[in-house]
A and B are shown apart, each in its own frame.
Chain A
Amino acid sequence: MADNIQDIKRRIKSVNSTKQITHAMELVASAKLRKSRELAEGRRPYFDAMIESMNRIVAKTTGAPNEFMKLREVKKVAYILITADRGFAGGFNANVSKMVEEHIDNKENAVLYTVGTKGRDHFKNRFYHIEGEYDGITENPSYFHAKEVANIIMNGFKNEEFDEVYLAYTKFVSMISQKPELVRLLPLKREDVEVDSLDDAVDIPIEEMTVMRYEPEPEDLLSYLIPNYISDTIYGAMIESAASQQGARRMAMESATTNANDMIEGLTLKFNRVRQAAITQEISEIVSGAEALK
């Protein structure tokens, strides 16, 4: 056989050490995934309560729509793209980046805000205009990071630097499935803040609602709540992406570990065959040598 017994031995060793790394990464990813999911669960009550307050306040406002709800002619579009800082997560980064790339119909009119280095690199290499980049926060996002991004976005929108804002992230469907999503963040749709099916966490009788006083005016409260809504939506997207990132990485590493196991199995079989062939050959040489001496 052509393969050297030493070469096969070396390959087994090399595949085995790779396997150990991928297996360790798989375990780390599952631990981080658990943490991200806890964050996502913690955010839920705040989001529900906020939507409810917004609902009630929006119902009270009668005047002009809030500046973040106004539609205007779309000249420039901003994208907030949430990816990971690190690879080794299967198609995670590529999927969401590609989705944004497909959505952009004119490169000149797109402004990008990237969270995570992978998305930034993807678009930098293709010479897109990247206005803001935020690195090192994707694995453990905090509300204040999200708020920072939200403030910059809202200022840009207010100053008419762009007329629409899209948020691209990866939705965590289940442990084995993550789906890239693109949602319009600004201008706000009225139905975003007006949901019919309210969570029944807080039960307020109608008569109490009608006497509810607002201080300051509902319009002012709304302009306080909307930035919070946007911050929290970005925060939610960051958490979902963080969970998806770990989920995708866990999957990728799991299949890498399985592949390594298969490879080791194949190589071990080959190794044994080569070894056996060598022994058989040696025996037949000895036998034929002894035969010749007779």
Chain B
Amino acid sequence: MAETFRLKIISPIGIFLDEDVERMVVRGTEGEFAILYDHTPLTTTVAVGTFIILNGKEKRTGTLLGGLATINPKETIILTDAAEWPHEIDLERAKQAKERALKRLQDEKFDSARAQAALERAIARINAKEQ
């Protein structure tokens, strides 16, 4: 069995995940990257997107709505605004949110930065659900 590292995902609502994993793939603001045991120490930002956790043959996905990752050889802590497992995601609602955000991007009445952020969240959720 491959070596594992401790992964903690913490959101303002509480600890989302705290366990030993082999590999994690997240979307950083500078592109996707994987975290393995003995990673070089790094602090970086995490974008809105899906993440994958691999433990042997077991594979789990979820969404992270932005955050900050502090990576150390034995431990990784991700502080995120919100984290979700696919079963917590309401696909219909995400699709509606996507439509709404797209409409709002066209409309000048609405704050485009907020609509853009809402769109990213909706897409991340839909991707996680469909994987």
Contacts and interface: CB of A to CB of B under 8 A. Distances in A.
Interface of A: 39, 41-43, 45-47, 49-50, 53, 56-57, 143-144, 147, 202, 204, 208-209, 211-216, 221, 224-225, 228, 232, 235
B1 interface: no
Interface in B71-127: 72-73, 75, 77, 79, 81-82
Interface of B: 8, 10-15, 28-30, 40-45, 68, 70, 72-73, 75, 77, 79, 81-82
A214 B43 contact: yes
Nearest to B81: A143
Given A43-B12, A46-B12, A232-B12, A53 B43 contact: yes
A85 B113 CA distance: 30
A143 B13 contact: yes
Interface centre among B12, B40, B72 (most CB of A within 10 A): B12
B71 to A, nearest CB: 9
B50 to A, nearest CB: 20
A45 B41 contact: no
Contacts, number: 78
Mostly, the A contact residues are: helix
Nearest to B67: A228
A226 to B, nearest CB: 12
B12 A212 contact: no
Given A143-B81, A216-B29, A228-B79, 12 more contacts: A42-B15, A45-B14, A143-B82, A202-B75, A202-B77, A215-B30, A215-B44, A216-B45, A224-B68, A228-B81, A232-B12, A235-B12
Q: Which of A46, A56, A224, A225 has the most CB of B within 10 A?
A: A46
B41 A147 contact: no
Contacts of A208: 41, 72-73
Nearest to B30: A215
A56 B41 CA distance: 13
5 contacts: A39-B13, A43-B13, A49-B10, A143-B81, A221-B44
Contact of A49 (B13, B30, B79): B79
Contacts of A45: 10, 14-15
Contact of B42 (A147, A202, A209, A212): A212
Contacts of B29: 216
B89 to A, nearest CB: 16
B44 to A, nearest CB: 4
Nearest to B33: A215
Given A49-B79, A221-B68, A212 B13 contact: no
A214 B12 contact: no
B79 A50 contact: yes
